[in-house]
């Protein structure tokens, strides 16, 4: 699906004086038809860029952990969705040494996280084009509005690379918003003895002159924030599951003992989740278990989640569930983050319920018992209010409670049918909260307005369902 959210074309309606003011504030606005500086996400206004869609990223990176130095070349294959005299990419830090559009040198300038590119000739609407950017430097992670680090995060033996919500732009120029999904090729060169792990399938691994080059391919469309190129000293395990999914696990040896019993369950977790949510959406799977205590979270990097230490089983279940909910079915706006985190959290509840742990009802009841002043009730799951809150408890726990309330209202069979059909209908695409609400009503034949209004959209602790 292409850009479901499009900024309304306001400029034509803006009075001349205001347009002149805008042009004075941003001279580039005077340059005529252009791409925009963001896709219009209210939580991250500069994230992504309007005016084009990236079909494919070809990233060639060399990383020297000792110097923390990255050399990169990114080749993006894109299509203009309007006439473009210039367009933006998102890139944070690093030094750009050259940009070409269709092999011709293009002018560029930096403006905060915007890399503004002016091709020699305007690109007409609908035209396919190729942008190549060469760059280098020491990647600087982003500090998110919630204070967490995000992006290319150095570790003692390499880098932990995770980009939710903003960090992709710390290591490659991107259309950095989940509305745009693309396929990826990675060619990653690191010192011999280190391993560089990206998404998808490993195509080749070659060592020469003290360096090893790993080539990875992510075929199914992926949002930029789900890309990784994690580097470290890893023990590698590779196998193919009974259903033909290629598994590649990379584990920091210091985490190996703790990780082993959990990683051994990955095939059975994939089977169990496929039984509930439908066919696993990708051809590759696995885990990257790093030692990165400065990070403090795991991320559902597509096909191969990255963990900052050996995960427990519940975390493995959570990140694996995201492959359906968040990765295959993507957000169109960060406000809808409960569609990722509420669903992955509810997968944990279901896993416990079906594996001799607490029932989902018991988990729900324990949460519901929290007093009205508890942080759990700080905001409704469907309205975190700002980018600073998108990983807060209400998104995860109240999000999962919303699904439990739905299950209670429609019954187990209809509920599971909804989850599965949702993943199937939006596979390799996008979904919004409003679409999910309609979808659940249509499949169950029930009026669920009140339920969703209460749990997703109304402040305060809801009445017991």
Contact residues: Zn ion, CB under 5 A: 341, 344
Q: DSSP code of 84?
A: B
Of 180, 186, 265, 196, which is closest to residue 230 (Cα–Cα)?
A: 196
Which CB, 314 or 458, lies closer to Zn ion?
314
Q: Which tokens hold the place of 76?
A: 């993006």
Whole-angstrom distance, CA of residue 94 vs CA of residue 142: 12
One residue of 191, 205, 219, 297 binding ligand ARG per CB under 6 A: 297
Which residue bears the tokens 């790093």?
A: 290
- 144 near ligand ARG, rule: CB under 6 A: yes
Q: Which stretch binds ligand ARG (CB under 6 A): 100-108, 144-152, 223-231, 248-256?
A: 144-152
Q: Which does 148 bind (CB under 5 to 8 A by kind): ligand ARG, Zn ion, none?
A: ligand ARG
One residue of 298, 316, 352, 381 binding ligand ARG per CB under 6 A: 298
Q: Where are the alpha helices (DSSP H) in 26-165?
A: none
**Which residues 6+ apart lie within 8 Å of 158 measured at CB?**
63, 65, 190, 194, 196, 230, 231, 232, 233
Of 177, 214, 173, which is closest to residue 332 (Cα–Cα)?
A: 177
Residue 221 Cβ, how far from Zn ion at the closest point, in Å?
20
Of 81, 86, 85, 88, which is closest to residue 125 (Cα–Cα)?
A: 81
Is-contact 85 202, C-beta < 8 A? no
**Which residues 6+ apart lie within 8 Å of 50 measured at CB?**
3, 6, 7, 35, 36, 37, 38, 39, 40, 81, 82
- 391 near ligand ARG, rule: CB under 6 A: yes
Q: Which stretch binds ligand ARG (CB under 6 A): 168-176, 292-300, 371-379, 454-462?
A: 292-300
Binding string, 302-331, against ligand ARG, x = CB under 6 A? ----------------xx------------
Residue 249 Cβ, how far from ligand ARG at the closest point, in Å?
18
Q: Which of residues 341-360 bind ligand ARG (CB under 6 A)?
A: 341
Which CB, 166 or 179, lies closer to ligand ARG?
166
- 299 near ligand ARG, rule: CB under 6 A: yes
Is-contact 187 278, C-beta < 8 A? no
- 148 near ligand ARG, rule: CB under 6 A: yes
- 252 near ligand ARG, rule: CB under 6 A: no
| Residues in binding contact with ligand ARG, number by CB under 6 A | 13
Helix (H) or strand (E) holding 276: helix 266-277
Is-contact 142 167, C-beta < 8 A? yes
Whole-angstrom distance, CA of residue 211 vs CA of residue 239: 25
Binding string, 174-213, against ligand ARG, x = CB under 6 A? ----------------------------------------
Q: Which does 180 bind (CB under 5 to 8 A by kind): Zn ion, ligand ARG, none?
A: none
- 386 near ligand ARG, rule: CB under 6 A: no
- 273 near ligand ARG, rule: CB under 6 A: no
Q: Give the footprint of ligand ARG on this chain (CB under 6 A).
A: 144, 146, 148, 150, 164, 297-300, 318-319, 341, 391
């Amino acid at each position: 699906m292409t850009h479901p959210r499009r900024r309304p074309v306001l400029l034509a309606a803006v009075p001349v004086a205001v347009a002149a003011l805008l042009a004075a504030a941003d001279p580039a606005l005077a340059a005529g038809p252009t791409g925009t500086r963001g896709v219009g996400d209210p939580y991250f206004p500069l994230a992504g860029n309007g005016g084009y869609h990236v079909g494919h990223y070809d990233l060639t990176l060399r990383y020297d952990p000792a110097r923390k130095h990255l050399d990169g070349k990114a080749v993006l294959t894109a299509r203009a969705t309007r006439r473009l005299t210039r367009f933006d990419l998102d890139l944070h830090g690093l030094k750009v040494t050259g940009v070409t559009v269709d092999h011709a040198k293009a002018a560029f300038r930096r403006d905060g996280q915007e890399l503004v590119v002016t091709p020699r000739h305007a690109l007409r609407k609908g035209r396919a084009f190729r942008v190549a950017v060469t760059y280098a430097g020491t990647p600087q992670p982003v500090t998110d509005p919630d204070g967490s680090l995000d992006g290319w995060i150095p570790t003692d033996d390499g880098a932990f690379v995770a980009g939710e919500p903003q960090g992709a732009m710390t290591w490659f120029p991107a259309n950095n918003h989940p509305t745009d999904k693309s396929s990826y090729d990675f060619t990653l060169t690191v010192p011999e003895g280190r391993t560089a792990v990206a998404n998808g399938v490993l195509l080749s691994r070659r060592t020469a002159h003290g360096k090893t080059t790993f080539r990875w391919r992510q075929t199914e469309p992926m949002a930029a924030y789900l890309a990784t190129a994690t580097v470290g000293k890893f023990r590698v395990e590779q196998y193919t599951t009974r259903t033909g999914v290629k598994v590649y696990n990379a584990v920091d040896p210091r985490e190996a003992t703790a990780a082993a019993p959990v990683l051994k369950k990955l095939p059975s977790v994939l089977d169990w989740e496929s039984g509930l949510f439908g066919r696993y959406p990708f051809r590759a799977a696995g885990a990257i278990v790093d030692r990165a205590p400065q990070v403090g979270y795991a991320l559902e990097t597509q096909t191969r989640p990255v963990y900052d230490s050996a995960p427990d089983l519940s975390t493995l279940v959570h990140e694996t569930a995201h492959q359906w909910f968040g990765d295959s079915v993507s957000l169109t706006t960060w406000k809808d983050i409960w569609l990722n985190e509420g669903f992955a959290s509810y997968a944990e509840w279901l896993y416990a319920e079906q594996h001799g742990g607490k029932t989902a009802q018991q988990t729900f009841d324990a949460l519901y018992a929290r007093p009205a002043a508890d942080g759990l009730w700080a905001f409704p799951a469907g309205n975190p209010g700002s980018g600073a809150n998108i990983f807060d408890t209400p998104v995860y726990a109240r999000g999962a409670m919303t699904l439990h309330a739905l299950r209670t209202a429609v019954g187990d069979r209809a509920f599971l049918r909804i989850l599965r059909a949702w993943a199937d209908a939006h596979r390799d695409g996008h979904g919004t909260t409003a679409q999910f609400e309609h979808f659940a009503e249509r499949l169950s034949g029930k009026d669920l307005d009140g339920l969703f209004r209460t749990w997703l959209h109304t402040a305060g602790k809801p009445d017991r369902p």
